[in-house]
């Protein structure tokens, strides 16, 4: 299997749903199924927080959600836990600045998808050097889904990265909704990444569909 192309990566980043067992009162599998029915294009399993699952329970949930994504042909990405990603043959890994060095992760995962969080031009350039396929930039807007999130940067950071010649696929993250999606796409993001806009929605399917429509319409402008 070869590395994902930049074009396919950009398409996959359109509606990038992220969740773990702590992000909904409902079973993760039910929420993910509805989100996939609504048109999610990429999924990240992110098991974090004080009551996060660990060990065999975490792996069992990961395998359950991975199976669901496979039936929809949607790639399954694991957040932080490189060993788990390799153990279950996930489609990729996403690492933050405080996680394992992206260059080391690239060596371990071969051609799997590698996503890296970046907050500025220096971190973006380092991620590209390390072999990232995309970068996650944010929080763009205030978020309650990541307790150690940095200050919200606004869409301006996306414009700045593009002006500085950063051409790698970029997904915006942090407080993203269907209402602010156009602003982040116009500022230079290739797609949007969300937790609560889908996981906390009364209708995850409709929420995912609204995000997909907002991204599609922004790309037509």
Ligand X SMILES: Cc1ncsc1CCOP(=O)(O)O
Is 46 a residue of the active site?
yes
93 has which bridge partners? 78, 114
Residue from 61, 173, 187, 199 in contact with ligand ICP (CB under 6 A): 173
d(CA 136, CA 158): 10
Residue from 21, 41, 66, 79 in contact with ligand ICP (CB under 6 A): 79
CB 164 within 8 A of CB 123: no
41 binds ligand X (CB under 6 A): no
Residue 18: both structure tokens together: 């992220």
Is 70 a residue of the active site?
no
Q: Is 41 annotated as a binding residue?
A: no
Residue 154: both structure tokens together: 């606004």
145 binds ligand X (CB under 6 A): yes
Residue from 13, 85, 197, 201 in contact with ligand X (CB under 6 A): 197
| 114 Cβ contact partners less than 8 Å away, ≥ 6 residues apart | 92, 93, 94, 95, 102, 105, 106, 130, 131, 132, 133
Q: Is 200 annotated as a binding residue?
A: no
| Chosen from ligand ICP, ligand X, none, partner binding at 171 (C-beta under 5 to 8 Å by type) | ligand ICP
139 binds ligand X (CB under 6 A): yes
Residue with tokens 């994902």: 4
35 binds ligand X (CB under 6 A): no
Residue from 176, 207, 211, 212 in contact with ligand X (CB under 6 A): 176
Q: Is 196 annotated as a binding residue?
A: yes
Annotated catalytic residue, options 46, 106, 112, 205: 46
CB 191 within 8 A of CB 214: no
Residue from 93, 102, 173, 207 in contact with ligand X (CB under 6 A): 173
**Residue with Cβ nearer ligand X (89 or 147):** 147
d(CA 55, CA 37): 29
Q: Is 117 annotated as a binding residue?
A: yes
Residue with tokens 């029915």: 37
Q: Is 144 annotated as a binding residue?
A: yes
Is 146 a residue of the active site?
yes
d(CA 150, CA 173): 12
The two beta strands, 76-79 and 134-137, are: unpaired
Residue 55: both structure tokens together: 């060990």
Annotated binding-site ranges for Mg(2+): 80, 99
Annotated binding-site ranges: 44-48, 79-80, 99, 117, 143-146, 175, 195-196
Provide the annotated active-site residues: 46, 117, 146
Q: What is the binding site for ligand X (CB under 6 A)?
A: 138-139, 143, 145-146, 149, 173-176, 194-197
């Amino acid at each position: 299997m070869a590395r994902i192309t930049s074009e396919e990566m950009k398409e996959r980043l359109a509606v990038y749903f992220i969740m773990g067992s702590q992000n909904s009162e409902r079973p993760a599998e039910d929420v993910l199924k509805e989100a996939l029915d609504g048109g999610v294009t990429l999924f990240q399993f992110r098991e974090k927080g004080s009551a996060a699952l660990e060990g065999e329970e975490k792996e069992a949930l990961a395998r359950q959600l991975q199976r669901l994504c496979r039936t929809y042909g949607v790639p399954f990405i694991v957040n932080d836990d490189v060993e788990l990603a390799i153990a279950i043959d996930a489609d990729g890994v996403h690492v933050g600045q405080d996680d394992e060095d992206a260059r080391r992760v690239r060596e371990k995962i071969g051609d799997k998808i590698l996503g890296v969080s970046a907050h500025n031009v220096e971190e973006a350039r380092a991620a590209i050097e390390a072999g990232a396929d995309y970068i996650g930039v944010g929080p763009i807007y205030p978020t309650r889904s990541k307790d150690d999130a940095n200050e919200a940067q606004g869409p301006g950071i996306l414009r700045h990265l593009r002006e500085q010649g950063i051409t790698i696929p970029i997904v915006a993250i942090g407080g993203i909704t269907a209402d602010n999606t156009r602003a982040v796409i116009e500022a230079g993001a290739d797609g949007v990444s969300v937790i609560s806009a889908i996981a906390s929605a009364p209708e995850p399917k409709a929420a995912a569909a609204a995000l997909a429509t907002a991204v599609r319409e922004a790309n037509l402008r």
